[in-house]
Structure 1
């Protein structure tokens, strides 16, 4: 094969590498609430923002469509996929039980090394909160929850929890748009840490469950309100 014949494939590999990076950036923006459910993805604006052509952007969008994060309609374009409130409620209900069960196992099995790692993560989260770095705070918050569950030393539990959390990750980002809930979540994490430090950790299962329930309540409230606003505008327009 000549050098000339190989060039298109080389260019294609560069394009695919670029599209993977774009997909990762868009995925983070969607999961952390920067691109809310239902919003239209303006291809021209994102090409300019990422300084790329439409080809790698569309390759990236195809990946996100396959992941269920983005919807595509011919002649309409791309939109961030909406959230299914019914599925979210059921997923949160399951997570409440997993959090409590993890707390029971962690109370007996957590090692000193695991606790020390969580303490370091918690301090990083405190620093992010103090600096109003909301995105960093949310990311570290998620990491702490997974570390706690992993400390139960049950691979099946850790795997199920990670899978379910990936389903609600995007929705949980909505709770952090509310400053009051952000402060409440921060205080609840302080209570979780206090429970982790106690001898025998008797309060841990209940505290983890309550924190999960409070987060779910706020996430669903925000999403229900968000979904209700467009419907109210449409109804108002029709009544004029």
Structure 2
């Protein structure tokens, strides 16, 4: 359940007991960080989170340690836990690699996708259109992530899939900021339509070019947002 859909008073106590405890807590905190509910650099208020989740501090700290190993959270003695800041240079470098991975995935996916997989992608695209129309940015972004990962997965190369997934996990927070611009959000949806059209025609050269351009456009928007929020 997404606590953001609840009234403020109802969010104060969302029990995570009996659901795997610290793993479930880590998953919820991860969502809060990726969705921007907990902002980069923000100090984590352990007391408030314990009250919100109706838990003790021990499982919360175990969950936070998990997020530290993932790079989502930092910890300093006497200062506590903090949402990890976004490293602009790292994001830029990762995007440079992702451009090539998207292009390669496009060439392979056009050769290897089957009709069933194509139908799933088209259904997800229609879901994205609905989320866009309804102004549901977080839901749209999650559907968007699934579409991109599926295109890479249907390329049929497990090394490519694993590398892409690993790199994307490092920039989810930054990439989500691209949806802050309404115009870019609409442009991104249009680009997705062109991408799926090329894939349905099994046009590998066109698909590879469109995926790379889409990745480059997204990177440019993300870096612009990061620059503006950092004050540089």
**TM-score if structure 1 supplies the norm length?**
0.84
* 1:32 is the counterpart of 2:11: no
Following superposition of structure 1 onto structure 2, how do residues 1-240 of structure 1 map, counting pairs within 5 Å?
17-198=20-201, 200-228=203-231
Range with bigger deviation, 198-207 or 184-193 = 198-207
CA distance in 2, matches of 1:167, 1:35: 16
For the Cα contact (< 8 Å) 2:44–2:83, is it kept in 1? yes
Range with bigger deviation, 203-212 or 188-197 = 188-197
Residue 180 of structure 1 deviates from its aligned partner by 2.4
Structure 1 gap segments, 5+ residues each: 1-13, 230-240
For the Cα contact (< 8 Å) 2:106–2:207, is it kept in 1? yes
Range with bigger deviation, 208-217 or 149-158 = 149-158
**TM-score if structure 2 supplies the norm length?**
0.86
Query: 4+ runs of 1 displaced by more than 6 Å?
Result: none
CA distance in 1, matches of 2:88, 2:29: 22
CA distance in 2, matches of 1:202, 1:15: 50
Q: Which residue of 2 aligns with 1:10?
A: none
For the Cα contact (< 8 Å) 1:83–1:171, is it kept in 2? yes
Q: Which residue of 1 aligns with 2:6?
A: none
Aligned residues between the structures: 216
RMSD: 1.8
For the Cα contact (< 8 Å) 1:16–1:56, is it kept in 2? no
